[in-house]
Every structure is written in structure tokens, then in C-alpha cells.
């Protein structure tokens, strides 16, 4: 059993400073030094999980192996650390309150008045320590969502205060991520917002141990000294986090600033073993020095907000590095596609990805795009809804099943080539009721996917309600669209391919959730390779 240490990461001044990337970068450095680390995110909103949130609100919903629908920061944690996260790694206020209210209804509080302190804060502390109590981790990093000073963050900051006190010195520290803005008119960096935000934190009884300062200009010695003086830290505890070209530069930047050293010293842990970041830097080297470029269209209905497809765009970065290719993503709004403009929009692309999604909006544009790439031999990867679209397109235009559809879009369709799974039919609740998490899939040997994975049995993460309707399988197979991946237990079709096409693959699961820097996803690697071949006409 390890004596787990805790690192809390709070945010000040403004949101979107990149707490998740700082937490992931620190974790990476600690992992490289031989410590076992995990990262947890506490989200102060009242939704039970982001599964029911519109992607425009909060970006992508990330899915873990155990089927938790989580904040997209967990994707960064996995991509950096290369170890899976789980339900315990993401907790929301909704979940905390639900647990406390369930206990109250069961009578667990024995007539006591249930209050934010201690009941809500106890539940928060319990959730923080669940990961530590597994005994698997030397260090648990807990990122507190939101900004210090938000009303909804108060119980979390209070729980941090209590935990810091209870766990004692050298066992729990607080890193405060803050903004040091550059005022062009004054020609200087300003420390006041940070001073105020630290004061606010201190009013809640929490003294930061380390300040990480987001900035667009280097922090001078004088600025560091000033920040240290006003914020109750040593000068070495002021860490500069300068804007980077890529998030994957941040571990190196944090190492150069000594963040991992400072943290380990404050936790009374050894700093003897230094991180090497060999494989990481190998990846960075390839990522920054591509030999080729490919142009890939990403068709979705949330493209205005790139965060809605975070794991997909990161997967392209990982797969691009393997192929020494820079993938230029062309974000295409599915609603902007019409029969007349599809050729113009797609003809110069080397590959097209049709993205996951829910509901009817943008469906017809996606179908038109698939017709074009199918007929023009452009490499195609359809993910989840993207795979379902490929099935609908083929049904309509090759099998001549007029108006074939998914029952999600048209519950009365005559040809329901995609339909609700049996176990989904009686479900009314929207939250957490989809087919979620990892499921096995057996691959056909003679297929593009087998060539990509080089193994017969894979397991991938899912998040959907609708499925390929097996009543039509024979018809599809005879016409040339075949199932090259099937769930061995349920016979559900997980992958479809068109062998007559150079590279046309649709997957019911989400490969993007499993791609990491150390393990770029084989399907993305193969897709990028196919796009390069398409560019060079070497199919």
C-alpha cells in the first residue's frame, strides 16, 4: 500500500488557462521519474456528467473504458500518461449531491441536518481519496474545475482546505494556475490579477504552494520576485507557463521551469531520478518535422467549436507523427453541404472523416459527402454516426432502398438499416443509458482493419444507442459492403468496409478515445497512410 500524496490544481483570474494540460504535463514528468500517478477532475456543474451536455457547451464528451461519460480533460490525461482513467477520475457537483441525497433518503444521517459543510465537503473528500485508497498511486493530482471565486467552486476549495490540514505537511499541496497578462499600452506584464486571485484563495483558508503563471512573455526575475512577495511563496515556486506551439511542448517547458522538482520537494519525495522523456521527444521531433502533408476533411455539425472533436484532432496529430505527415484538418459543416457544392468542397481532399453525432441536423449533407467519396475513391473513415451514415448512403444509392434511414432520424422509415438496439427500446432516461465503454470485436482477416490492427480481437469504446440492423446484412454483403468487425458475443456489426474502394471504413465505436502519444491509434495511423497514398496516387 502506497502512502499516496495529493496535488490540487486550482485556477485563478480566468477560465481556459489550461489546467488540464498543466496537470497532465506535471503527471507526465512525475511518471517519467518512476512515480505512479493519476489525475482526477472535479467539475463544479450540477449535471451528473457531461453526457447530456451539448458539445457547444463543453466540448467533446470523453468516454472511459468503464463507460463513464466524462470531461474532455480526461482525454488529455490519457493521451499524456498512456494509462486508462475511470469513473472515479471525474466527479461533478451533480454526482456529489446525488450521493449525499441518496444517503439522506436511506436515513444514513440519523436525523442530522444535512449541510454543505460537513456533508457535501465530506463526500468531495471521499471522492478525492477513492483513487488514493486503491493503493495504486504514489501521487493523485486533482484538478478543480472552474475559477477560484466562483460560487459553485466554494465547496471544493473548502474540501481542499480541510484535506490539506488533515493530510498534513508534505502530503498535500496546492498549485494555483493563474494569468499574468501583458498590457501592450503599458509595455509590461501585470501581476495584480494574480495577487487578487491568490488573496481570494487565501480568504478561503488555502495558501498556494506553487504558482504556475500563464503568460505570453517571459517572466523577468523582478516579476517572479514580486509575485512571490505578494503571494506567500518562494521565488522558485513561481513557474512560468509561456504560450506554446503545441500542448505537447508543455511537459518540457514545465521541466525546464522545475515544476516537477518543486512539487516533489514539497511532497518530501525523492528527486534523484530525472525524467528523460525519450519517447515523448521522439514523437515531438516527428510531429514538428513532417516530410509530407495531407488534407483531410472533418465533416460534423459542431465544427465551429473544434473542442467538440478534441480526441479526433489529437488522434490525427499522433497518427501524423507516425507517418511523418502533417495532417491539415478542413473543418466542414455538414449543414453547408449540398449536391451542387459537394464536389467543390471535397475534390481536393485526400481523405474524409465523417464525425460522430446525434440527431437529424446535418444528416443529408453527410450522406451527400459519403456518396462523393465512395464514388471518387477518396479514403473514408466514418466514426459512430459516420459509420451509420455510410450504411444509410449505401442502402439508398446502391441497394435502392428509397429513403432508407436510421430510426433515430425517421422512426417510420420503411427501411430501418440502422435501428435501436433491443435493450435500448424501453429506456426513457437520456443520461448514462447508451451502450458505453469497451466491447470486444472480432476482425475479418482479409480487411483494411485487420491490416491496421494486426490482430484478430480488439476492444474499443462505444457511445451510442443505434446499431446496424442485421436483417439487412445479407443484402449489404451481396452488394459489396461487408462487415469486417463483429461483436463475438452479440453479433452486432461494429465495422463495415467496401473492398471495392481503396480505403472505406466505418466503425460503430470511437477509436479516437484510445489514441495516445505513446500508442497512436492503429486505425488513424492506417487512415492517414491511406490519405497519403491517395495524394500520391499509389493505391
Q: Give the interface size with ligand GLN as a residue count (CB under 6 A).
A: 10
Report if residue 501 touches ligand GLN, rule: CB under 6 A: no
**DSSP codes, 342-358:** HHHHHTT-SEEEEPP--
Q: Please say if 512 is a catalytic residue.
A: yes
Smallest gap from Cβ 150 to ligand GLN, in A, equals 31
What gap in Å lies between CA 519 and CA 239, rounded to an integer? 30
Alpha helices by DSSP H, 376-415: 385-397
Nearest residue (CB) to ligand GLN, 25 versus 388: 388
What gap in Å lies between CA 301 and CA 294, rounded to an integer? 22
What gap in Å lies between CA 125 and CA 148, rounded to an integer? 18
Nearest residue (CB) to ligand GLN, 421 versus 479: 421
From 287, 512, 521, 531, the catalytic residue:
512
From 460, 510, 521, 531, the catalytic residue:
510
Smallest gap from Cβ 355 to ligand GLN, in A, equals 8
Nearest residue (CB) to ligand GLN, 357 versus 362: 357
Smallest gap from Cβ 421 to ligand GLN, in A, equals 9
Nearest residue (CB) to ligand GLN, 262 versus 384: 384
What gap in Å lies between CA 194 and CA 380, rounded to an integer? 48
Cell triple for 487: 461483436
Q: CB–CB of 88/130 below 8 Å?
A: yes
What gap in Å lies between CA 175 and CA 209, rounded to an integer? 6
Q: Please say if 444 is a catalytic residue.
A: no
Nearest residue (CB) to ligand GLN, 157 versus 409: 409
Residue 39 CA, distance from chain mean position: 13
Site map 430..469 versus ligand GLN, x via CB under 6 A: ---------------------------------xxxx---
Q: CB–CB of 211/227 below 8 Å?
A: yes
Q: Where in 383-422 is the site for ligand GLN (CB under 6 A)? A: 384-385, 408
Neighbours of 507 (CB within 10 A): 24
What gap in Å lies between CA 28 and CA 5, rounded to an integer? 16
Smallest gap from Cβ 376 to ligand GLN, in A, equals 24
Nearest residue (CB) to ligand GLN, 173 versus 384: 384
Smallest gap from Cβ 463 to ligand GLN, in A, equals 5
Q: CB–CB of 393/374 below 8 Å?
A: yes
**DSSP codes, 314-342:** HHHHHHHHHHTEEEEEEEEEGGG--TTTH
Smallest gap from Cβ 350 to ligand GLN, in A, equals 24
Q: Where in 326-365 is the site for ligand GLN (CB under 6 A)? A: 356-358
Q: CB–CB of 166/174 below 8 Å?
A: no
What gap in Å lies between CA 503 and CA 195, rounded to an integer? 56
Q: CB–CB of 188/223 below 8 Å?
A: no
Nearest residue (CB) to ligand GLN, 144 versus 384: 384
Q: Please say if 441 is a catalytic residue.
A: no
From 213, 231, 384, 441, the catalytic residue:
384
The continuous run of DSSP H or E covering 128 comes out as helix 121-133
Q: Where in 130-189 is the site for ligand GLN (CB under 6 A)? A: none
Site map 209..228 versus ligand GLN, x via CB under 6 A: --------------------
Smallest gap from Cβ 369 to ligand GLN, in A, equals 15
Neighbours of 304 (CB within 10 A): 10
Please report, as ranges, the residues that interact with ligand GLN according to CB under 6 A: 356-358, 384-385, 408, 463-466
List active site positions.
384, 510, 512
Amino acid at each position: 500500500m502506497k502512502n499516496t500524496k495529493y496535488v490540487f490544481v486550482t485556477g485563478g483570474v480566468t477560465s481556459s488557462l489550461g489546467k488540464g494540460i498543466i496537470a497532465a504535463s506535471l503527471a507526465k514528468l512525475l511518471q517519467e521519474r518512476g512515480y505512479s500517478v493519476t489525475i482526477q477532475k472535479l467539475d463544479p456543474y450540477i449535471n451528473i456528467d457531461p453526457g447530456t451536455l451539448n458539445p457547444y457547451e463543453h466540448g467533446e464528451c470523453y468516454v472511459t473504458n468503464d463507460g463513464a461519460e466524462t470531461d474532455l480533460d480526461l482525454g488529455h490525461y490519457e493521451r499524456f500518461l498512456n494509462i486508462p482513467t475511470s469513473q472515479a477520475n471525474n466527479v461533478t457537483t451533480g454526482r456529489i449531491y446525488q450521493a449525499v441525497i441518496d444517503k439522506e433518503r436511506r436515513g444514513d444521517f440519523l436525523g442530522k441536518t444535512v449541510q454543505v459543510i460537513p456533508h457535501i465537503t465530506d463526500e468531495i473528500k471521499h471522492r478525492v481519496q477513492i483513487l488514493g485508497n486503491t493503493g495504486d498511486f504514489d501521487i493523485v493530482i486533482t484538478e478543480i474545475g472552474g475559477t477560484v471565486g466562483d460560487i459553485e467552486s466554494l465547496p471544493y476549495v473548502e474540501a481542499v482546505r480541510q484535506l490539506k490540514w488533515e493530510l498534513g505537511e508534505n502530503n498535500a499541496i496546492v498549485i494555483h494556475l493563474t494569468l499574468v497578462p501583458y498590457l501592450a499600452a503599458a509595455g509590461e506584464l501585470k501581476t495584480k490579477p494574480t495577487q487578487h486571485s491568490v488573496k481570494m484563495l487565501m480568504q478561503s483558508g488555502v495558501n498556494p504552494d506553487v504558482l504556475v503563471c500563464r503568460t505570453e512573455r517571459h517572466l523577468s526575475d523582478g516579476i517572479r520576485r514580486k509575485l512571490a512577495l505578494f503571494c506567500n511563496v518562494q521565488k522558485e515556486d513561481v513557474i512560468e507557463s509561456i504560450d506554446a506551439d503545441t500542448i505537447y511542448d508543455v511537459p518540457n517547458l514545465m521541466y525546464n521551469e522545475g515544476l516537477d522538482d518543486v512539487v516533489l520537494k514539497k511532497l518530501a519525495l525523492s528527486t534523484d531520478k530525472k525524467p528523460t522523456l525519450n519517447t515523448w521527444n521522439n514523437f515531438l521531433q516527428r510531429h514538428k518535422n513532417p516530410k509530407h502533408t495531407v488534407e483531410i476533411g472533418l465533416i460534423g455539425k459542431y465544427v465551429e467549436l473544434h473542442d467538440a472533436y478534441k480526441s479526433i484532432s489529437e488522434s490525427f496529430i499522433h497518427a501524423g507523427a507516425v507517418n511523418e505527415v502533417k495532417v491539415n484538418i478542413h473543418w466542414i459543416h455538414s449543414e453547408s453541404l449540398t449536391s451542387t457544392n459537394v464536389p467543390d468542397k471535397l475534390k481536393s481532399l485526400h481523405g474524409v472523416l465523417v464525425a460522430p453525432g446525434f440527431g437529424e441536423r446535418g444528416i443529408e449533407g453527410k450522406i451527400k459527402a459519403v456518396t462523393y467519396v465512395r464514388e471518387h475513391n477518396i479514403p473514408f473513415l466514418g466514426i459512430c454516426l459516420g459509420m451509420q451514415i455510410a450504411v444509410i448512403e449505401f442502402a439508398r444509392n446502391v441497394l435502392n432502398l428509397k429513403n432508407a434511414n436510421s430510426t433515430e432520424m425517421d422512426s417510420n422509415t420503411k427501411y430501418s438499416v440502422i435501428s435501436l438496439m433491443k435493450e435500448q427500446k424501453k429506456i426513457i432516461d437520456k443520461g448514462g443509458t447508451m451502450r458505453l465503454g469497451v466491447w470486444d470485436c472480432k476482425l475479418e482477416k482479409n480487411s483494411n482493419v485487420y491490416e491496421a490492427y494486426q490482430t484478430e480481437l480488439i476492444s474499443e469504446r462505444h457511445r451510442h444507442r443505434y446499431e446496424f440492423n442485421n436483417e439487412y446484412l445479407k443484402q449489404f454483403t451481396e452488394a459489396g459492403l461487408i462487415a469486417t468487425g463483429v461483436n463475438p458475443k452479440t453479433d452486432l456489426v461494429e465495422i463495415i468496409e467496401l473492398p471495392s474502394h481503396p480505403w472505406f471504413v466505418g466503425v460503430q465505436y470511437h477509436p479516437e478515445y484510445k489514441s495516445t502519444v505513446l500508442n497512436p491509434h492503429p486505425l488513424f495511423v492506417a487512415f492517414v497512410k491511406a490519405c497519403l497514398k491517395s495524394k500520391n496516387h499509389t493505391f
